[in-house]
């Protein structure tokens, strides 16, 4: 097991964003963290990257509490939902800086520049870039770090269809290398094609966890798309969709 949340709670003032959540993420899998706006996805991610600490509960990475890792050896890379960068450094300077710090070579950097179509922006400051291009810079920066776990909060936001494909391929390649990916997103149809398992959050509580088949079985919903499962589970409505159903229906 790579990552474990054990009864983790987090409140912001009176808002209980996470309410005793427990889940595991295993090495070499891609896990989709899904849930409505305000469900607690970003709060979960921020706990993993140690921007915030839980009020109660324990989070461990490779069996060790997060607090026991040094900042310099913390094996997690992160793509935030809002791009974060050095305003005074160009795109190229960001890439060179990360490559230097993490011992990556020119080929690694050039490969990312080509795949993410960043060549024409290398001399630009991030503030002048479009939303999608800033997002591509965030992908490149995240990949250049050394990590076991890649955590991405809404990583597809702003990307065009071709770049969504590129990012999917990057996640799949990380899995092939034995790395682990945890990503939060609302794009259920995009992640359904490559995630191994899902964690569904609803109002700070985990309402489902597992493969699509596991979740379908737990809720007695067969042959559903991820979207159908999600909509049923989070609505608390496990009745069949109206009219002819294209999947087996539960028996209460």
CA-based angle 235:240:246, to the nearest 5?
125
Tell me the window of 40-48, 108-116, 121-129, 144-152 that interacts with ligand ATP (CB under 6 A): 40-48
Bridge pairing between strands 30-35 and 180-184: parallel
Q: Which of the ranges 10-18, 21-29, 118-126, 128-136 carries the binding residues for ligand ATP, by CB under 6 A?
A: 10-18
**Contact between 38 and ligand ATP per CB under 6 A:** yes
**Segment near ligand ATP (CB under 6 A); pick from 41-49, 84-92, 142-150, 160-168:** 41-49
Nearer to ligand ATP, 38 or 75 (CB): 38
- The least distance separating ligand ATP from the CB of residue 125, rounded to whole angstroms, comes to 27
Rounded distance, CA 151 to CA 74, Å?
13
Helix 131-144 to helix 161-176 angle, to the nearest 10 degrees?
10
21 CB-contact burial (10 Å; exposed 0-12 / middle 13-18 / buried 19+): buried
One residue of 1, 15, 82, 119 binding ligand ATP per CB under 6 A: 15
HSE-CB at 207 with a 13 A cutoff on CA atoms is: 23
Options 2, 5, 31, 41; binder of ligand ATP; rule CB under 6 A = 41
Site membership for ligand ATP, residue 39 (CB under 6 A): yes
Cβ nearer to ligand ATP, comparing 36 with 125: 36
Q: Does 40 bind ligand ATP (CB under 6 A)?
A: yes
Let me know how many helices (H) and strands (E) the chain has, helices first.
8, 10
Residue 38: name the closest of 204, 191, 235 by CA. 204
Q: What order do you get walking across the sheet with 56-61 strand by strand?
A: 15-25, 3-12, 56-61, 64-65
Candidate ranges 38-46, 117-125, 138-146, 192-200; the one touching ligand ATP (CB under 6 A) = 38-46
CB 106 to ligand ATP: min, Å: 36
10 Å CB burial of residue 111 (0-12, 13-18, 19+) is: middle
**Between 148 and 153, CB nearer to ligand ATP:** 153
Residue with Cβ nearer ligand ATP (118 or 201)? 201
Among 42, 180, 185, 202, the residue binding ligand ATP under the rule CB under 6 A is 42
> What's the min distance (Å) between Cβ of 214 and ligand ATP?
22
Tell me how far the alpha carbon of residue 12 is from its chain's centroid.
22
Where does this chain touch ligand ATP (CB under 6 A) — which range of 32-40, 69-77, 122-130, 136-144?
Answer: 32-40
Q: What is the spatial distance between Cα 29 and Cα 26, in angstroms, rounded to a whole number?
A: 6
Report the SS3 class of residue 69. Answer: coil
Nearest residue (CB) to ligand ATP, 148 versus 154: 154
Contacting residues toward ligand ATP, per CB under 6 A? 12, 15, 17, 35, 37-43
């Amino acid at each position: 097991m790579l990552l474990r949340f054990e009864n983790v709670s987090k409140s912001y003032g009176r808002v209980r964003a996470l309410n005793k959540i427990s889940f595991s993420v295993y090495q070499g899998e891609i896990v989709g963290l899904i849930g409505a706006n305000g469900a607690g996805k970003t709060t979960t991610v921020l706990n993993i990257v140690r921007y915030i600490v839980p009020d109660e509960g324990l989070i461990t990475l490779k069996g060790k509490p997060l607090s026991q890792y040094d900042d310099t050896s913390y094996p997690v890379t992160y793509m935030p939902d809002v791009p974060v960068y050095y305003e005074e450094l160009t795109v190229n300077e960001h890439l060179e800086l990360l490559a230097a710090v993490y011992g990556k070579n020119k080929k690694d950097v050039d490969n990312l520049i080509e795949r993410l179509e960043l060549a024409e922006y290398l001399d630009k400051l991030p503030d002048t870039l479009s939303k999608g291009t800033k997002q591509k810079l965030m992908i490149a920066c995240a990949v250049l770090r050394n990590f076991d776990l890649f955590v991405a909060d809404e990583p597809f936001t702003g990307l065009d269809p071709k770049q969504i494909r590129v990012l999917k391929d990057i996640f799949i390649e990380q899995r092939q290398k034995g790395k682990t990916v945890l990503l939060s997103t609302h794009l259920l149809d995009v992640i359904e094609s490559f995630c191994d398992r899902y964690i569904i959050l609803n109002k700070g509580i985990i309402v489902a966890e597992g493969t699509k088949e596991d979740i379908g079985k737990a809720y007695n919903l067969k042959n559903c798309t991820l979207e159908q499962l999600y909509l049923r589970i989070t609505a608390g409505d496990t009745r069949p969709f109206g009219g002819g159903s294209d999947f087996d229906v539960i028996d209460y």
